[in-house]
Amino acid sequence: MTILITGGTGFVGQTLVKRLCQLPVRLATRRDSFGWEKILGGINTVVHLAARVHVIHDSSADPLTAFRMVNLSGTMNLARQAAAAGVKRFIFISSVKVNGESTQPGRAFTEADAPNPQDAYGQSKFEAEQGLRQLSADTGMAVVIIRPPLVYGPGVKANFAALMHAVQRGWPLPLGAVHNQRSLVALDNLVDFIVTCITHPQAANQTFLVSDGQDLSTTELVRGMAQAAGVPVRLVPVPVWALQTGASLLGKGDIVQRLCGDLQVDISKAHSLLGWVPPVSVEEGLRRTMAV
């Protein structure tokens, strides 16, 4: 079995390639996207990681068109050529943003929930999912859709990295009274789940949410980061309403929403259908992340 990985040099891709080192793996490059015929020869499974990723402040004049160009059109171009080349399984890394931006307390997202993307990135991923399901129905190529929440691990960037650096430097953080619940997924857990979906027969033509299986408040996350880094935690218990008010005045309301809001996913389908259990605990995932 030969596996084609797109985005193999990225945050998730590098770890996936290392995990699959005992199998024949072929990595796609950007120039392959202009014509996939040669590289798809002899491929059994495609893992499509490459994407235009979500950013907090998108500078594009037309974000939806920009996201669709890569995440929808690029995905479908590859998938159609994969089906024509006889690829048996196409694994698409989507996003929890297809489900929505937040959950109500005690009401985690499930795969059965109606999609509710709220931004251009989530919309482009949702449209790609729809296209892939139709292509699967038309061609018989099995499609597996994986929707991870925030992925953390060695090399993580963006807001998670900024929070890490603040904790490592011992800066006081006004996050000591945030009692939300958020699902995260350690890089090694996501990679393990992708590997499971490559071979498990029951994964075919299914959509999965994936996480560490242990949700955290932002306060608990910061404490866990500090413990993993071996530094004292400095948390100031500022009320959430005060954080939200201050952030709104500074135009940072979206960041505070991610820090203070709930976003939980239910991974019971992955467990019941595939027998999958996250192999890495939150504590170990944070230790690996903070050790870099």
Give the pLDDT confidence of 8-34 residue by residue, as tens digits.
999 999 999 999 988 899 999 777 666
User: Mean pLDDT of all residues in the chain?
Assistant: 93
Dihedral sign computed on CA atoms, order 237, 241, 242, 245: positive
pLDDT at 58: 58
Q: Report how far residue 115's alpha carbon sits from residue 137's, in angstroms, rounded to the nearest whole number.
A: 20
Q: Is the pLDDT of residue 59 over 80?
A: no
pLDDT value at residue 37: 85
Residues of the chain with pLDDT > 70, as a percent, come to: 96
Task: Report the catalytic residues.
Answer: 121
Q: Which amino acid is at 104?
A: Q
Q: What is the pLDDT at residue 33?
A: 66
Residues 148/95, Cβ–Cβ less than 8 Å = yes
pLDDT tens track for 141-183: 999 999 999 999 999 998 899 999 999 999 999 999 999 999 9
pLDDT at 34 (0 to 100): 67
Handedness of CA 34, 39, 44, 48 (dihedral sign): negative
For 60-99, the pLDDT digits (tens) are 678 899 999 999 999 999 999 999 999 999 999 999 999 9
Asked if residue 57 has pLDDT above 60, the reply is no
Q: Which of 57, 205, 187 is nearest to 121 (CA)?
A: 57
Residue 292 pLDDT grade (very low, low, confident, very high; cuts 50, 70, 90): confident
Averaged pLDDT, 204-231: 96
Q: Which residue has the higher pLDDT, 284 or 33?
A: 284
Confidence band (pLDDT; 50, 70, 90) for 227? very high
Query: In terms of DSSP H, where are the helices of 56-201?
Result: 63-67, 75-84, 120-139, 158-168, 187-199
The band of 55, judged by pLDDT with boundaries at 50, 70 and 90, is: low
For range 184-191, the mean pLDDT: 98
pLDDT at 62: 82
Quote the pLDDT of residue 185: 98
Q: What is the pLDDT of residue 255?
A: 79
